[in-house]
C-alpha cells in the first residue's frame, strides 16, 4: 500500500508543483522554502526532498514536511507559509499538498466508517506559490489562526492497523461543529476588526453532507454562500 502511495504521490505532487511554478512565473531556484503536506502515506526522506532535484529547487531551500494535520493541513500550510514570508530571509514559498486515498480502501471486515472514508476521499494534489516578490492572481493572506477544541481528539483522525491506515470518524463531529465553530470564527474575525458580514466568499472543507450542514447552521450561511462547497 505504501509503495503505491509513494509512486503516485511523487507523480501527482511533481505535476502540480511544476504547474504552480510555471503559472506563477517563478524560477524554481528562487524558492526559499518548500512545504509538503500529506497524511495518507509515509515517506522518509519526505515528499519535497524527492521532488526538489526534479523541480530544480535550490538545495538550500528550507524543507518543512507536514504529515499529521489531516484535512486542515493545506490551509494550515498556507498560514505557516505566510508567516515564513514575514521573515526577511524568505521570498518565495512553494506549497505542495498530496493525498493518495485509494490505497487506504479497506476490504478486510470494512466498518461503516471505512465505507464512508472510501466514499468521501479520493486521490488529488494541489500546489501554490506564496511570494513577497510578485503580485500574483490569487488572494492575499491577511491573517490565519488555528484552534484546537477541548475534548475533540477522539472524534476525527487516523489509526494504523495491520491492514493500513483506517479513518476515525465520530458521529458526534457535526454536534461539535454546531456548538463551537461560531465562537471560534467570530473570535478570529474580531481580532482583525471584522465580522461574518464582512466576508464575501467562504471556502469550506467539503467534509461530507452532515458537516457542511452543521457549518452552514453554525455560521448562519445562506444556501448560495455554501453552494460552491456543495459543488466540490
71 is known as an active-site residue: yes
- Active-site residue identified among 39, 71, 101, 147: 71
Which DSSP symbol is given to 181?
Answer: H
SS3 state of residue 129? strand
2 class by beta-carbon count within 10 Å (0-12 exposed, 13-18 middle, 19+ buried): middle
Q: CA–CA distance from 13 to each of 19, 51, 106, 207 (Å)?
A: 10, 8, 24, 22
Short-list 214, 217, 212, 207, CA closest to 227: 212
Distance (Å, whole) CA 164 – CA 4 = 12
Q: Which residues are catalytic?
A: 71
Amino acid at each position: 500500500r505504501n509503495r503505491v502511495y509513494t509512486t503516485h504521490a511523487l507523480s501527482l505532487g511533481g505535476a502540480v508543483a511544476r504547474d504552480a511554478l510555471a503559472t506563477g512565473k517563478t524560477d524554481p531556484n528562487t524558492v526559499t522554502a518548500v512545504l509538503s503536506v500529506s497524511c495518507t502515506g509515509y515517506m522518509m526522506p519526505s515528499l519535497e526532498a524527492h521532488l526538489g532535484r526534479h523541480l530544480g529547487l535550490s538545495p538550500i531551500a528550507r524543507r518543512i514536511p507536514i504529515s499529521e494535520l489531516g484535512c486542515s493541513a493545506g490551509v494550515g500550510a498556507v498560514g505557516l507559509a505566510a508567516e515564513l514570508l514575514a521573515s526577511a530571509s524568505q521570498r518565495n514559498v512553494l506549497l505542495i499538498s498530496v493525498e493518495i486515498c485509494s490505497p487506504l480502501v479497506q476490504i478486510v471486515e470494512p466498518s461503516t466508517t471505512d465505507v464512508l472514508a472510501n466514499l468521501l476521499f479520493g486521490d488529488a494534489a494541489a500546489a501554490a506559490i506564496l511570494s513577497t516578490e510578485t503580485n500574483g492572481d490569487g488572494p492575499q493572506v491577511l491573517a490565519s489562526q488555528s484552534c484546537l477544541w477541548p475534548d475533540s481528539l477522539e472524534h476525527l483522525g487516523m489509526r494504523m492497523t495491520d491492514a493500513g491506515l483506517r479513518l476515525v470518524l465520530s458521529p458526534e463531529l457535526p454536534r461539535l461543529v454546531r456548538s463551537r465553530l461560531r465562537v471560534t470564527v467570530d473570535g478570529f474575525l474580531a481580532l482583525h476588526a471584522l465580522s461574518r458580514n464582512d466576508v464575501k466568499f467562504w471556502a469550506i472543507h467539503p467534509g461530507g453532507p452532515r458537516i457542511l450542514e452543521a457549518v452552514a447552521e453554525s455560521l448562519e450561511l445562506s444556501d448560495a454562500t455554501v453552494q460552491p462547497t456543495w459543488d466540490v
